[in-house]
């Protein structure tokens, strides 16, 4: 009994024919309360209690199924199972839907109107044509309740045709509506207006326990409204509550009692706001709190059964006997979940079910009532095999369930046992033998009688030798991470079955669940326990329990696991200055090995992770719980933590202390990398590396710049109050160009001035060269390269650091301007990366740190036509001895290409990894190759425009294996090698 079946099958009636199987014990089945006649039904049959239906039919098979299981003790009903069929009809055949005319800025709702269906639907909308789907955002929303499309504020880009797509999630069918055109009216733009909530949830929403609840809320409005949610109770949303689709959907997963209440959706824009409310109520299907159990009572006794169930709404109760409704009358009384029957008789025996039901579900609890009136109605309880050891006491139970009570006697073999000093017959039928000897072994029979009959049962008593433990586990200490075997071995009588089990700190070890660490090893007389990768929590008492048919033995050991210390706690900054911090902490667990010392670590916004810091005393031993951290930076926010160590190793760090800022102080770090120079006329440019925020030591940080002409005494000072600035420009018309200055930079903050950097020499800005280069010439070298030459400038007052060549294709195309600089006194430069067959204009100027001087007069030249973009074809070769002869077809240039002037043969030797090149104006060449090397050969056409495209490589492998090779025979062979 206790058969509980729940079934919900959603089946597609379209497409291939399918079958279903409902698993149950043997019994009969009904559909919609009517017994199914399986004898005359070719589509339905039973197999082992399962109901199998073939060739499913929507009209014949839809409904509620229930199984009745029965045996000689009675019958019970299963829970009801509902079989339904999902489908999705097509939209009714219709012409195009009427156009929807709206003003720009107005909100609109496009209705979907899904066709007839069964099963859950989802909705999407196509804009104009597949696969362009409407994308949901704060302005557009598709309701999964109605399928309608909502546009809060129409924009010109929304104009077009909209098609509703309906999907059945069970059958995976998809149907499309006719398009709905959306058209803008030409009578003006819609003005701003307050939100109008078009999508909202009902005033009352029932929600089942552990279900997922989705509430929809969307508003039209101009400007586009913003959606927000709250609970009217003021309780904030837990993390499981999610907002989706720009807050248009609120989703509550795993709904529980505490989630019930009133929810409010608010739509708001600058024109106003609106809100809707609804209450979500908690519902739950029935759940058993108390059920009845199988009961055996004697004739004329009274029965009282009570079952209790929770649920919302509160469930109602009913009772079944053998599948039939129990009615309250006479001896039978029913009150809610309680059933009482007075003065039982044999006809009251059977299978009973308590049924609890509310609108969310129905549950059954089953139990058997046996009214006893004869002795053979129940079995006697006696083991088929009893064992004992010499000298022990053995008890053989014989407790027949009989009404009225039975009288018992015992036989050993065929001899009736009599009471004596070692044999006792107890009133409840139990036989007890003390000081057992091997002569007591044999077959024992218990005979029970009452007025209804006689019942017997027989067992065998074996006498065995005592079991001894031969190897025991011992107390041990072990380091975390190691492995160990705890022995537990015995000597036993061969007639006994033995089993081993282990308990850890009073709990039985589950070797299957804890297989990562625990394993039983050894044979039938060994229960050794292997513990792998021991952890701290494995320390404790281990007990080996040996169970035989006769006795139970045990042996134990204490395992101490030593590991690194646990994390210290409560790290506190007791006192802090600009460079020190006084810390205290509490110790963590020593994990079996005394703590020998502590390491202090600190973290700031400027460090990468945690860093060890210096302390006083330098070494913090294990007995200390305070230390002073030194060498801290002023005005920096610090966190501290403490790590303990012992002989095993370093432990886990403590939680971090509260963030604490050191006191401020005068800067003690000067800026570095002081330099400068450059700039424009009458400028002195001074640069430095800024002081990091970590070293600024306080608020109001800035820089003091001091400078003087070399050879003078008085410093000029300037102040910059921006910490991140790394550059200062002093402008004065009296500054001579390119004159040296002594420069130093210091730092300050609200506490005062800090140190200055060392003095650096910086030159003032120089003047650009005043003369342009002369005799500028250019020639085209190839399709992508031009060579430019000019005459070096004579000595002029200004410095010349080099020359700058500017080139361009056309004055009307600024993006074609390029620039090449060359430092030193060079007067030639190659410009590469140019376009083929293109006119380029060029100009040259001298430059120094102040920039370029005047440009020379522009000249122009044209790059060469590009080389042919075809490689040599029809390459043939012969080899005689070590001489390779190559032939190929000539490459003919097109009109827009440079003429071919010759050919370039590239010969790469693998052994030396070098490349030799051979130029020829012919289409044939002879090469002398080494017989002991591998070669790779490639041929390119040459032209004024440069190298052409290379041929496919020819691979020549060691020639020593061959003497004479011919192209028609070996060309393919070499390529494949």
Question: How high is the pLDDT of residue 816?
Answer: 76
Statement: residue 409 has pLDDT above 70: yes
783 in a structural domain: yes
Same domain, 305 and 366: yes
Question: How high is the pLDDT of residue 469?
Answer: 92
Question: How high is the pLDDT of residue 524?
Answer: 67
* Banded pLDDT at 503 (limits 50, 70, 90): very high
Statement: residue 225 has pLDDT above 60: yes
What are 310-352's pLDDT values in tens digits? Answer: 988 899 999 999 989 999 898 999 988 899 999 988 889 999 9
- Using only C-alpha atoms, the chain has a radius of gyration, in whole angstroms, of 50
Question: How high is the pLDDT of residue 4?
Answer: 28
Most confident region among 3-12, 388-397, 488-497, 716-725 by mean pLDDT: 716-725
Statement: residue 602 has pLDDT above 80: yes
Same domain, 785 and 726: no
Range scoring the smallest mean pLDDT among 118-127, 474-483, 524-533 = 524-533
968 in a structural domain: no
Same domain, 108 and 159: yes
Cα separation, 458 vs 441, in Å, equals 13
Statement: residue 371 has pLDDT above 50: yes
What are 752-809's pLDDT values in tens digits? Answer: 999 999 999 999 999 999 999 999 999 999 999 999 999 999 999 899 999 999 999 8
Q: Which CATH number do you get for residue 50?
A: 2.60.40.10
What are 892-932's pLDDT values in tens digits? Answer: 999 999 999 999 998 888 777 778 889 999 999 998 888 77
Cα–Cα separations (whole angstroms), residue 485 to 249, 482, 492, 708: 59, 11, 22, 83
138 in a structural domain: yes
Question: Of the residues 862, 881, 909, which one is the last residue of a structural domain?
Answer: 862
Cα–Cα separations (whole angstroms), residue 802 to 772, 805, 820, 827: 12, 10, 11, 9
Range scoring the smallest mean pLDDT among 385-399, 585-599, 702-716, 734-748 = 385-399
Question: How high is the pLDDT of residue 12?
Answer: 34
What are 263-276's pLDDT values in tens digits? Answer: 999 999 999 999 99
Cα separation, 317 vs 340, in Å, equals 14
907 in a structural domain: no
Question: How high is the pLDDT of residue 375?
Answer: 54
Same domain, 358 and 421: no
Instruction: Decide: 651 and 591 in contact? Cβ < 8 Å.
Output: yes
Statement: residue 134 has pLDDT above 70: yes
Question: How high is the pLDDT of residue 10?
Answer: 31
Question: How high is the pLDDT of residue 522?
Answer: 78
648 in a structural domain: yes
Statement: residue 45 has pLDDT above 90: no
* Banded pLDDT at 94 (limits 50, 70, 90): low
Cα separation, 922 vs 621, in Å, equals 89
> Can you point out the beta strands (E) in 226-271?
226-231, 241-244, 249-252, 261-269
Same domain, 110 and 70: no
Question: Of the residues 372, 392, 411, which one is the last residue of a structural domain?
Answer: 372
Same domain, 177 and 227: no
Cα separation, 471 vs 486, in Å, equals 10
Cα separation, 446 vs 407, in Å, equals 10
Statement: residue 11 has pLDDT above 70: no
* Banded pLDDT at 510 (limits 50, 70, 90): very high
- Give yes or no for a cis peptide into 590 (omega within 30° of 0): no
By percentage, how much of the chain surpasses pLDDT 70? 92
- Give yes or no for a cis peptide into 617 (omega within 30° of 0): yes
Nearest to 601 by CA among 645, 634, 665: 645
Do β-strands 50-53 and 63-71 pair in parallel, antiparallel, or remain unpaired? Answer: unpaired
Coil, strand or helix at 377: helix
Instruction: Decide: 295 and 368 in contact? Cβ < 8 Å.
Output: yes
Question: How high is the pLDDT of residue 56?
Answer: 86
Contacting residues for 515 by C-beta, under 8 A, at least 6 apart: none
Measured from the Cβ of residue 162, the count of other Cβ atoms closer than 10 Å reads 22
Cα separation, 85 vs 57, in Å, equals 9
> To which residue do tokens 């020190």 refer?
580
Phi and psi based region of residue 606 (left: phi greater than 0; alpha: psi -120 to 50; beta: remaining): alpha
Compute the Cα dihedral for 512, 514, 519, 525 and give only its sign: negative
> To which residue do tokens 């209804």 refer?
452
Question: How high is the pLDDT of residue 977?
Answer: 32
Same domain, 130 and 142: yes
Which pairs with CB-CB distance under 8 Å and at least 24 residues apart come from 957-962?
958/931, 958/932, 958/933, 958/934, 959/879, 959/882, 959/929, 959/930, 959/931, 959/932, 960/931, 960/932
Statement: residue 220 has pLDDT above 90: yes
Range scoring the smallest mean pLDDT among 146-150, 267-271, 417-421, 451-455 = 451-455
Instruction: Decide: 448 and 454 in contact? Cβ < 8 Å.
Output: yes
Question: How high is the pLDDT of residue 495?
Answer: 80
Q: What's the pTM?
A: 0.45
977 in a structural domain: no
Cα 426-427-433 angle, rounded to 5 deg? 10
Cα–Cα separations (whole angstroms), residue 95 to 99, 164, 178, 179, 919: 12, 15, 7, 9, 79
Cα separation, 383 vs 444, in Å, equals 10
Q: Which helix (H) or strand (E) holds 970?
A: helix 967-976
Instruction: Decide: 117 and 96 in contact? Cβ < 8 Å.
Output: no
Question: How high is the pLDDT of residue 973?
Answer: 33
Task: Calculate mean pLDDT across residues 641-665.
Answer: 96
Instruction: Decide: 651 and 645 in contact? Cβ < 8 Å.
Output: yes
Class of residue 561 by CB neighbours under 10 A (exposed 0-12, middle 13-18, buried 19+): buried
By percentage, how much of the chain surpasses pLDDT 90? 59
* DSSP structural state of residue 967: H
Contacting residues for 353 by C-beta, under 8 A, at least 6 apart: 76, 77, 319, 320, 321, 323, 364, 365, 366
What are 161-219's pLDDT values in tens digits? Answer: 999 999 999 988 999 989 999 999 988 888 899 999 999 888 888 888 888 999 999 99
- Give yes or no for a cis peptide into 131 (omega within 30° of 0): yes
Instruction: Decide: 651 and 644 in contact? Cβ < 8 Å.
Output: yes
499 in a structural domain: yes
Question: How high is the pLDDT of residue 17?
Answer: 29
Same domain, 105 and 168: yes
Same domain, 477 and 546: yes
Range scoring the smallest mean pLDDT among 729-743, 774-788, 814-828 = 814-828
Mean pLDDT of the chain: 87
Question: Of the residues 843, 862, 881, which one is the last residue of a structural domain?
Answer: 862
The total of structural domains in the chain comes to: 9
- What is the residue range of 621's domain? 572-662
> To which residue do tokens 């007389």 refer?
525
Statement: residue 884 has pLDDT above 80: yes
Range scoring the smallest mean pLDDT among 155-159, 520-524, 635-639, 806-810 = 520-524
What are 668-696's pLDDT values in tens digits? Answer: 999 999 999 998 889 999 999 999 999 99
Question: How high is the pLDDT of residue 967?
Answer: 42
Statement: residue 294 has pLDDT above 70: yes
Cα separation, 862 vs 790, in Å, equals 18
Same domain, 794 and 747: no
Contacting residues for 375 by C-beta, under 8 A, at least 6 apart: 400, 402, 406, 448, 449, 450, 452, 453, 454, 455
* Banded pLDDT at 392 (limits 50, 70, 90): confident
Instruction: Report the Cα–Cα distance between both ends of the chain, in Å, rounded.
Output: 79
Same domain, 751 and 789: no
881 in a structural domain: no
């Amino acid at each position: 009994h206790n058969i509980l079946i729940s079934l919900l099958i959603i089946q597609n009636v379209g497409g291939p024919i399918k079958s279903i199987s409902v698993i149950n014990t043997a019994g009969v089945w009904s559909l919609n309360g009517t017994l199914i006649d399986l004898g005359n039904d070719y589509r339905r049959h039973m197999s082992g209690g399962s109901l199998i239906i073939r060739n499913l039919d929507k009209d014949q098979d839809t409904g509620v199924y229930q199984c009745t299981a029965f045996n000689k003790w009675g019958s019970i009903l299963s829970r009801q199972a509902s079989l339904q069929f999902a489908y999705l009809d097509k939209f009714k055949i219709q012409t195009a839907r009427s156009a929807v005319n709206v003003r720009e800025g107005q909100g609109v709702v496009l209705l979907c109107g899904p066709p007839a269906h069964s099963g859950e639907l989802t909705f999407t909308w196509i804009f104009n044509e597949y696969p362009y789907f409407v994308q949901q955002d704060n302005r557009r929303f598709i309701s999964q309740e109605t399928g309608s499309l909502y546009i809060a504020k129409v924009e010109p880009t929304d104009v077009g045709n909209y098609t509703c797509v309906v999907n059945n999630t069970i059958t995976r069918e998809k149907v499309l509506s006719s398009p709905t055109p959306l058209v803008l009216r030409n009578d003006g733009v819609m003005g701003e207006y307050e939100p109008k909530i078009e999508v909202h949830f009902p005033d009352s929403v029932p929600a089942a326990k552990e279900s997922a609840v989705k509430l929809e809320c969307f508003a039209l409005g101009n400007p586009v409204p913003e959606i927000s949610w709250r609970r009217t109770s003021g309780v904030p949303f837990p993390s499981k509550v999610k907002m989706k689709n720009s807050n248009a959907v609120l989703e509550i997963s795993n709904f529980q009692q505490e989630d019930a209440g009133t929810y409010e959706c608010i739509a708001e824009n600058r024109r106003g706001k609106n809100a809707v409310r609804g209450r979500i109520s908690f519902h739950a299907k029935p759940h058993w709190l108390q059920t009845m159990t199988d009961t055996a009572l004697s004739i004329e006794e009274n029965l009282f059964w009570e079952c209790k169930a929770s649920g919302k709404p509160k469930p109602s109760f009913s009772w079944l006997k053998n599948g039939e409704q129990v009615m309250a009358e006479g001896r039978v009384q029913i009150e809610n979940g309680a059933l009482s029957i007075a003065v039982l008789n044999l006809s009251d025996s059977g299978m009973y079910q308590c049924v609890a039901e509310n609108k969310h579900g129905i549950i059954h609890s089953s139990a058997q009532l046996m009214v006893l009136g004869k002795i053979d109605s129940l079995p006697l309880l006696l083991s088929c095999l009893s064992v004992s050891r010499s000298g022990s006491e053995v008890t053989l139970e014989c407790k027949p369930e009989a009404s009225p009570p039975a009288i018992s006697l015992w036989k050993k073999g065929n001899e009736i046992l009599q009471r004596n000093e070692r044999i006792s017959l107890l009133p409840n039928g139990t036989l007890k033998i003390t000081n057992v000897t091997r002569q007591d072994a044999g077959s024992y029979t218990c005979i029970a009688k009452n007025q209804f009959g006689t019942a017997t049962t027989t067992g065998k008593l074996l006498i065995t030798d005592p079991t001894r433990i031969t190897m025991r586990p011992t107390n041990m200490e072990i380091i975390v991470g190691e492995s160990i075997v705890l022995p537990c071995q015995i000597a036993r009588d061969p007639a006994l079955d033995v089993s081993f089990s282990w308990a850890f700190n009073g709990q039985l070890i589950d070797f299957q669940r804890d297989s990562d660490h625990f394993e039983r090893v050894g044979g039938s007389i060994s229960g050794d326990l292997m513990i792998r990768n021991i952890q701290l929590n494995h320390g404790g008492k281990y007990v080996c329990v040996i169970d035989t048919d006769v006795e139970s033995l045990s042996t134990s050991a204490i395992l101490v696991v030593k590991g690194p210390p646990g994390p210290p706690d409560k790290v506190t900054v007791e006192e802090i200055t600009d460079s020190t911090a006084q810390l205290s902490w509490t110790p963590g667990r020593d994990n079996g090995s005394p703590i020998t010392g502590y390491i202090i670590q600190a973290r700031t916004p400027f460090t990468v992770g945690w860093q060890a810091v210096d302390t006083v005393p330098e070494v913090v031993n294990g007995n200390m719980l305070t230390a002073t951290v030194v060498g801290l930076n002023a005005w920096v926010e610090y966190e501290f933590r403490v790590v303990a160590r012992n002989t095993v190793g370093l432990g886990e760090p403590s939680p971090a202390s509260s963030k604490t800022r050191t006191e401020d102080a005068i800067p003690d770090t000067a800026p570095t990398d002081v330099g400068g120079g450059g700039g424009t006329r009458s400028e002195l440019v001074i640069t430095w590396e800024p002081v990091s925020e970590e070293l600024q030591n306080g608020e109001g940080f800035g820089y003091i710049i001091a400078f003087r002409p070399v050879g003078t005494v008085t410093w000029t000072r300037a102040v910059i109050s921006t910490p991140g600035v790394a550059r200062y420009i002093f402008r004065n018309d009296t500054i001579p160009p390119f004159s040296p200055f002594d420069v130093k930079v210091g730092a300050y903050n609200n506490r005062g001035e800090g140190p200055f950097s060392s003095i650096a020499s910086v030159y003032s800005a120089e003047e650009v060269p005043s003369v342009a280069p002369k005799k500028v010439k250019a020639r085209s070298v190839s399709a992508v390269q031009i060579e430019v030459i000019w005459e070096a400038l004579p000595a002029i007052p200004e410095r010349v650091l080099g020359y700058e060549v500017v080139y361009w294709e056309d004055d009307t195309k600024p993006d074609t301007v390029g620039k090449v600089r060359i430092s030193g006194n060079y007067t030639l430069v190659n410009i590469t990366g140019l376009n083929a067959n293109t006119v380029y204009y060029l100009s040259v100027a001298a430059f120094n740190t102040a920039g370029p001087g005047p440009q020379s007069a522009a000249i122009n030249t044209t790059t060469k036509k590009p080389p042919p973009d075809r490689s040599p074809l029809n390459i043939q070769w012969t080899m005689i001895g070590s001489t390779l002869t190559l032939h190929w077809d000539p490459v003919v240039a097109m009109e827009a290409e440079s003429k071919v002037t010759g050919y370039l043969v590239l010969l790469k030797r693998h052994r030396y990894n070098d490349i030799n090149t051979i130029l020829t104006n012919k289409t044939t060449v002879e090469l002398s190759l080494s017989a002991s090397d591998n070669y790779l050969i490639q041929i390119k056409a040459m032209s004024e425009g440069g190298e052409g495209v290379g041929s496919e490589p020819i691979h020549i492998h060691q020639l020593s294996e061959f003497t004479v090779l011919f192209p028609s025979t070996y060309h393919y062979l070499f390529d494949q090698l």
